[in-house]
Amino acid sequence: MLCLISLGLSDEKDISLKGLEVAKSCDFLFAEFYTTKLLTNKERLEKLVGKEIKILSRKYLEENFQEILDLAKNKKVGLLVGGDALIATTHSALIIEARKQGIETEIIHNASIISAVGETGLHIYKFGPCLTIPFPEKTKGKLPESVYEILKENKKRGLHTLCLLDVEEERIMKVNEALEILLKIEEEKKEGVISLKDEIIVFAKVGSKKPLIAYGRMEEIIKRNFEETPATIIFPGKLHFTEKEFLEFFRIEKT
């Protein structure tokens, strides 16, 4: 049996009672931290679960995919993942393959940035598709034009856009890095989708004791140079007055 056990947004205490129970019942426990970064580590998770946990790198998981599935044929295997399982397509690939091979699967859900973004006061049913801003080397120096297209379409419909920032093993994209990429695309496309005058939201360290929500013009956000990670950037669409009222609590120009 293969269990995907979601860890939620911040530290080891975000695991659910159910998730912890399933983790304790597994014969083998793995974790991957390359699709999401958490404010916890192997040692703290091991202490909580009372079991050894093997951390899988992207490379290891890709190359040893079948090894893990083989193990799950006769044993209960758990994979701990940040956020909510199956948001990353890596997890879907693992689950499809398990099902093809007749291996039973179980999914334990947990909090994800996709819904936690409600904490900014924006209405969840007004979000268009979300996007990820990739590290430039992943797109071979080419600017990620699809990101621009999604932003443009969402804006046209008055919808909010949640931008996730890329994560790689030990690296995590910062707010200003992401904004620089977006401004470069605008410079090239010149369709007026992204502007320094846009009012945007930075939502970082979600689920921690001190989440950061900052609202203000992009030029102001850049000046503040927020270093907090993991971070997301939200481009609001047409705002309802209750959304506006909520966001004003986080306006940086006042502070």
We find the least distance from the C-beta atom of residue 40 to its own copies, in angstroms, to be 12
Identify which of residues 205 and 222 has a Cβ nearer to its own copies in the complex. 205
We find the least distance from the C-beta atom of residue 95 to its own copies, in angstroms, to be 8
Identify which of residues 58 and 109 has a Cβ nearer to its own copies in the complex. 109
Q: Are 30 and 53 in contact (CB under 8 A)?
A: yes
We find the least distance from the C-beta atom of residue 254 to its own copies, in angstroms, to be 14
Identify which of residues 25 and 115 has a Cβ nearer to its own copies in the complex. 115
We find the least distance from the C-beta atom of residue 247 to its own copies, in angstroms, to be 10
With a CB cutoff of 8 Å and minimum separation 6, the contacts of 235 are: 151, 154, 155, 160, 161, 163, 198, 200
As beta bridge partners, residue 176 has none
Identify which of residues 145 and 219 has a Cβ nearer to its own copies in the complex. 145
Identify which of residues 85 and 221 has a Cβ nearer to its own copies in the complex. 85
We find the least distance from the C-beta atom of residue 196 to its own copies, in angstroms, to be 26
Chain center to CA of 181: 18
The Cα-based distances of 18 to 6, 207, 219, 251 in angstroms read 10, 19, 44, 38
User: Alpha-carbon distance 21 to 9, whole Å?
Assistant: 19
- The binding site for its own copies (CB under 8 A) comprises 6, 8-9, 11-18, 20-21, 83-87, 89, 91-93, 95-96, 99, 107, 109-112, 114-116, 118-119, 121, 123-132, 153, 157, 159, 206-207, 211, 242, 245-246, 249
With a CB cutoff of 8 Å and minimum separation 6, the contacts of 8 are: 14, 15, 16, 82, 83, 84, 110, 111, 207
